Amino acid sequence: MELEQLKSQLAGFLKANAMQKFTAQNLSDGLRMTDEQGYKQVVNALNALERQGDIIVDDNGAFQHNEDAGYILGDFRSNDKGFGFVKYDETLPDIFVSPDNTKQAMQGDRVKVSIIKPSASADRGPEGKVEEIITHGFERIVGTFTLGSEAKNYIGELAISDKKAMNYQVLIDGNGLRPNDGQVIVAEVNQFPNAEKPRQMIASAVETIGYKDEPGMDILQIVYAKKVPHEFPQAVLDAAAKIPTDVLDEEWEGREDITDQTLVTIDGADTKDIDDAVVAWKMDNGNYHLGVHIADVSHYVKEGADIDVEAYNRGTSVYLTDRVIPMLPRNISNGIASLNPNVIRLAMSAEMEIDPRGNIVNHRLHTSVIKSHARMTYDAVNKILEGDVFVQDEYANLVPMFKTMGELHDILLNMRKSRGAIDFDAPEAQIIVDDEGKAVDIQLRERGTAERMIESFMLAANETVAEHFDQLKVPFLYRIHEVPDAERAKSFFEFAKALGHPVYGDPSKVTPAMLQQLMTDVEGKPEAQMIATMMLRAMKQAKYSPEPLGHFGLGASYYTHFTSPIRRYPDLTVHRLIKWYAQHGTGVAAQERYASHLGKIGQDTSQRERRAIDTERDVDALKKAEYMMDKVGLEFDGVVNSALKFGLFISLDNTVEGLVHISNLTDDYYEYDEKHAALIGRSSHRIFQIGQKVRIKVLRVNKEEKTVDFILVNPESAPTTELRVASKSGGSYGKAGGRNRQERRKKERRGQSEGPKLKHGQLDQKKGQKRDNKRNF
């Protein structure tokens, strides 16, 4: 039965029986789709209906008609001018909400919206009205307390650290704690903005964190503001403390003993949670054996236990400048589950046979007992592969295997290139802090062959596991990256063509190979970075899903996350699924166990991944601003990262990004050309575009707002263009628009500067060994 027909039948039945709940098994029985293939079709249709909001699923996996069907649920994004947008779908334009229809919703609120005006065009969203605020994004807020008079029972005010809420007045009442002046506190909101007081909240202090100027307090404020769980409940710590520190004799039962294989781990020098070991050798038939052996975290973290519930709430480890917020207690992540050298560990193994063309011709998935024979660093392995005789002598017994691994990596890399995988190798920075947590340096990370080699091996294992279970036609959790939306692809194709580099193919049927060919064509040219940036913006975000939709960026038909269960909950789920099907088979009864839960797990873990990425991004921006505070007045070389109506975002060589506001482009009146993503001078015809090199001076830095402002040193050196922009009322303003519109500059920056930036993790391409070798594929 076709998916849409099946969805229609299921939705109609559940709506007709709106007061009842049904399991996937009930529904497949009713449709007489009781074989394994039919059952999976029913599950996929139910998951699709849940994502659309037509049905809901309870904690027991039972499905029911959603009484809110017909409305749209989404996340509200506010603008300082009073209007807002509701994001409800990654592929569709946001819903516009006028100031009169926001119901005083704030940034991050989860809202229910009705559509009052349909979309005028494919690239513009409909207009909506907020009918209900379901959850508030600022139920608990973080900021610095300022003592005030106790008139009207208000003991002071709170300066919010989140820039999206800085314009709100937060009065602290006397119903909670009574903090000291200058303390950073957590406050619980009792009264949200309303029609009478649209810019005011009333809250009670519920927790004091410390004083504003204490070391580390700046990062901690972001952690609290983003609602990242960072302290383990005592019950979780107690449960973790009961886990043995060594593998017990009885735990060997049912596992393959491969402790004699020369497994090694290869990670960054400061990595403490080591979750993968690898081994490789050349087989007699000319093929390669690759073993990827992953810490068996699921053996220690039992489903539904206190540790598991906390891990699910966290979703992922969060890697910040000077600290890691782990998904699991450290005696697990750095102890019994970490594949430390020369100790026995439990593992989930993916053993693959790979032919000289990079095809995986055979594989096995199984539980094992392993022992890492060496704890290698990327630096050491890179030196071995580069021929450093001193390091080769130190690891003489392992050198032949590393050379075999290097050969296999080249084979796998060429295979991925041949199928069209897109490689975005953007620079990554490591922020160095002193003992007080202050940023003192920014260093670029270099990716050598060893980093890329481990990347290749992890990709191979992830693809192998995903294909294995897709072929079995059972419910499973995949890592997906969907084909770019046709409208976005078309816009990008037009952009590339305007630069003289057309993409050959149909934008409605875009393939990775099309984009890979474009990147090959522009390699080494000045516009390469500009095209890569705009290409990334045209793509969708990678996410977790029970549907095997493949991974566009990697050019992979099958993909999942299997290799990092210490730091990612989806990987832990995948390990459980592997074990479950191995023990219980793949029949309908076995499929029922996880079928109705995987959609929810995919949604929740994708959201928590984005929360972690947002937190990491904010901390990076904070620390980069802190690093630039004593650089005001200094000049640097940079590259235009974004050209927008209100100015230019410039990236320096050290990855610090700053804004040249349009009011500081005083040599001409600059107007925005949307088609070419450029600012063009009306009189001089000077043009500024993505990828263009410029010289800037640091104008000002605001650490609290995480912003850096630049001015151009020599705008007259910019190239000129024959392009002309039709003058528009209320458009961009430069010299003619005034130089001192600082309030307008601030508002524009707060409301718009984040939008055009690249989202880390938008693809699963590895951009350096970021944050303790976090593997994001």
How many Cα atoms occupy the beta-carbon half-sphere of 154 within 13 Å? 17
Q: In the block, which residue shows the tokens 């479950």?
A: 580
Amino acid type, 474: V
Q: What's the rounded Cα separation, in Å, for the pair 31 and 42?
A: 9
- Please report, rounded to a whole number, the percentage of residues in the chain having pLDDT higher than 70: 92
Q: Is the pLDDT of residue 419 over 80?
A: yes
Instruction: Write the CA distances from 348 to 203, 252, 586, integer angstroms.
Output: 49, 13, 19
**How far is it, in rounded angstroms, from Cα 664 to Cα 697?**
12
Mean pLDDT of all residues in 250-257: 96
Q: How confident is the model at residue 727 (pLDDT cuts 50, 70, 90)?
A: low
Amino acid 757: pLDDT:
41
Beta-bridged to residue 284, according to DSSP, are none
Please report, as a single letter, which amino acid is at residue 479.
Answer: R
**Distance, C-alpha 327 to centroid of its chain:** 16
> How many Cα atoms within 13 Å fall on the side-chain side of residue 166?
13
DSSP letter assigned to residue 310: H
Please state which CATH number belongs to domain 632-740: 2.40.50.140
What mean pLDDT do residues 9-27 have? 89
Q: For CA atoms 550, 556, 562, 568, give the dihedral sign.
A: negative
**Structure-block tokens of residue 736:** 């003619």
* Interval 698-709: pLDDT, tens: 999 999 889 999
Q: How many helices (H) and strands (E) does the chain have?
A: 19, 33
- Token readout for 739 is 């130089």
| 711: pLDDT strictly greater than 60 | yes
Indicate the length of the chain as a whole number: 777
How would residue 750 be classed by pLDDT, with cut points 50, 70 and 90? Answer: very low
Would you kindly state where each structural domain of the chain is located, as residue ranges? 3-65, 72-135, 140-214, 237-475+563-618+767-773, 483-539, 632-740
Residue 150 exposure: Cα atoms within 13 Å on the Cβ side: 4
Task: Please report the pLDDT score of residue 122 as a whole number.
Answer: 67
Per-residue pLDDT tens over the stretch 643-687: 999 999 999 999 999 999 999 999 999 999 988 889 999 999 999
State how far the Cα of 512 lies from the Cα of 492, in Å rounded to an integer.
14
Higher pLDDT, 481 or 53: 481
**What CA–CA distances, in Å, run from 759 to 320, 555, 762, 763?**
16, 20, 5, 9
315 CB neighbour count, 10 Å cutoff: 25
Q: Identify the sign of the CA torsion 364, 365, 369, 372.
A: positive
pLDDT score at 433: 94
Residue of higher predicted confidence among 246 and 48: 246
The CATH topology of domain 140-214 is OB fold (Dihydrolipoamide Acetyltransferase, E2P) (2.40.50)
CA–CA separation, 430 and 632 (whole Å): 21
Average pLDDT over residues 727-746: 46
CA angle 517, 656, 491 (to 5 degrees): 35
- Check residue 298 and give its pLDDT: 97
* Res. 56: pLDDT tops 80: yes
Question: Is the confidence at residue 533, as pLDDT, over 90?
Answer: no
Using the predicted structure, report yes or no on whether residue 731 has a pLDDT greater than 60.
Answer: no
Question: Are 72-135 and 140-214 equal in CATH topology?
Answer: yes
Instruction: State yes or no: pLDDT of 51 exceeds 60.
Output: yes
The yes-or-no verdict on residue 79 having pLDDT over 70 is yes
Angle between helices 378-386 and 399-418 (to 10 degrees): 90
Q: In which band, very low, low, confident or very high, does the pLDDT at 423 lie, cut at 50, 70 and 90?
A: confident
Q: How far is CA 609 from the centre of its chain?
A: 5
What is the fold of 72-135? OB fold (Dihydrolipoamide Acetyltransferase, E2P) (2.40.50)
pLDDT of amino acid 525: 80
Query: For position 452, what pLDDT does the model report?
Result: 95
Of the ranges 97-111, 519-533, 549-563, 661-675, which one carries the lowest mean pLDDT score? 519-533
| Between residues 113 and 149, the one the model is more confident about | 113
Q: Which of 90-94, 750-754, 760-764 has the lowest mean pLDDT?
A: 750-754
Residue 743, classed as helix, strand or coil, is helix
Q: DSSP for 12-35, please give it.
A: HHHHHTTT--B-HHHHHHHTT--S
| Closest listed residue to residue 666, CA positions, set 729, 634, 724, 714 | 714
Question: How sure is the predictor about 18, in pLDDT bands with cuts at 50, 70 and 90?
Answer: confident
What pLDDT shows up at residue 676? 84
Average pLDDT, the chain: 89
Query: Beta strand 288-295 with 647-652: parallel, antiparallel or unpaired?
Result: unpaired
Query: Cα–Cα distance between 183 and 143 in angstroms, integer?
Result: 8
Query: Given this model, what pLDDT does residue 759 score?
Result: 40
Lowest mean pLDDT: which of 606-615, 631-640, 700-709, 735-744?
A: 735-744
pLDDT at res. 368: 98
- Per the listing, tokens 């952690």 go with 223
How confident is the model at residue 152, as a pLDDT?
77
Percent of the chain with pLDDT over 90: 67
Which residue in this structure is represented by tokens 């300066």? 159
Q: What is the number of other CB atoms lying within 10 angstroms of the CB of residue 668?
A: 20
CATH architecture of 3-65: Orthogonal Bundle (1.10)
Give CA angle at 400 (399, 405), nearest 5°: 95
Higher pLDDT among residues 49 and 458, named by residue: 458
Is the pLDDT assigned to residue 105 strictly greater than 90?
yes
- 496: pLDDT confidence band, cut at 50, 70 and 90? confident
| Residue with the two structure tokens 């194709």 | 493
pLDDT of 665 reads: 94
Residue 222 host element (H or E): helix 217-225
Higher-pLDDT residue of 619 and 749 is 619
CB 672, CB 640: distance < 8 Å: no
pLDDT in tens, 578-623: 999 999 999 999 999 999 899 999 999 999 999 999 999 999 999 9
Contacts of 322 (CB under 8 A, 6+ apart): 216, 219, 433, 437
